[in-house]
Homo-oligomer: A and B are copies of this chain.
Amino acid sequence: MSLGPVRGSTTGRPIMVLFDILGQRWSLRILWELRQGPLTFRALRDACDGASPTVLNTRLKALRQLGLVDLGPDGYLRTADGDDLGKQLADLDRWANAWAERSAPERPQQS
């Protein structure tokens, strides 16, 4: 699976590996969109507001290499690890909602 050295960090610390992949556009979004089960390449593309197939495939390759995503018979899905990480994103979602309410209490946010 090779969690080797990454862009922007010589340490190769796991968190840096994560920052490297998650700090690229669509990575977080892909993990997020796969939260409710497998999606085909094209369904994922639609879910991600039509991200280009080029990046999508590049990300999926990287995420698969890191063992976070896999390609099954019903499309792309999160692995056990990816699902675990996905839970952190769910936490992030909860946090973001609270944050938004805090940030703009006077101006109601459409949800």
A99 to B67, CA, bound (A): 10
Instruction: Report whether B100 and A95 are in contact in the complex, using a CB–CB cutoff of 8 Å.
Output: no
Which B residue's beta carbon lies closest to that of A1? B103
Instruction: Report whether A9 and B49 are in contact in the complex, using a CB–CB cutoff of 8 Å.
Output: yes
- Shortest CB–CB separation between residue A70 and chain B, in angstroms? 14
A81 within 8 A of partner (CB): yes
Instruction: Report whether B29 and A8 are in contact in the complex, using a CB–CB cutoff of 8 Å.
Output: yes
A32, A81, A103 — most chain B CB neighbours (10 Å) = A103
Q: Write the residues of chain A forming the contact surface with B, with a CB cutoff of 8 angstroms.
A: 1-3, 8-10, 12-15, 17-19, 22-29, 32, 48-49, 51, 66-67, 81, 84-85, 88-89, 91-93, 95-97, 99-100, 102-104, 109-111
